[in-house]
Homo-oligomer: A and B are copies of this chain.
């Protein structure tokens, strides 16, 4: 039933949206758009598309001359699989890996001042991401273009997410003893 991983569908989706692409182009697009909620190491982008081609969801067209890039096209099967996946509201559980939270969890085993230092650093870090998302959002033209609206929605979530973290770490830095709301 699960025809491929979210990473696979991300590849299908990018090609569906922007047309045939090489792994290298995929890399650039993913870094911009998808990284924040589904990181994909670059080497995977030379493994996933051939796999999807095997499965008949993409078609590979290799240049024979010069640089011999491998360009991947969406097939009808690929588009169908992508649409089936989008229509399925059940998804896997989200996963988070945040070294700062691990550290905070064990902070009582260290010096009390360590918490303030950690929280200050984290607050700054998340504020940076927050303003990054906000400026990306500001750049977005307020068109009714449905492609733009996908990005806009995710940016809104990114802002909410970073805002929550900024609030948390800032309040922790300001008053490390406090535990209530």
* Residues on A facing B (Cβ under 8 Å): 6, 9-10, 13, 16-17, 33-34, 36-39, 82-83, 85-87, 89-92, 94-111, 114, 117-118, 120-122, 142, 146-147, 149-154, 156-157, 160-161, 163-165, 167-168, 172, 179, 181
Contact = CB atoms under 8 A, between A and B. Distances in A.
B104 A154 contact: yes
Contacts of A99: 6, 38, 91-92, 94
For the complex formed by this chain, how many copies does it contain in all?
2
B98 A94 contact: yes
A133 to B, nearest CB: 13
B149 A160 contact: no
Contact of A100 (B91, B150, B181): B91
Contacts of A142: 179
B160 A179 contact: no
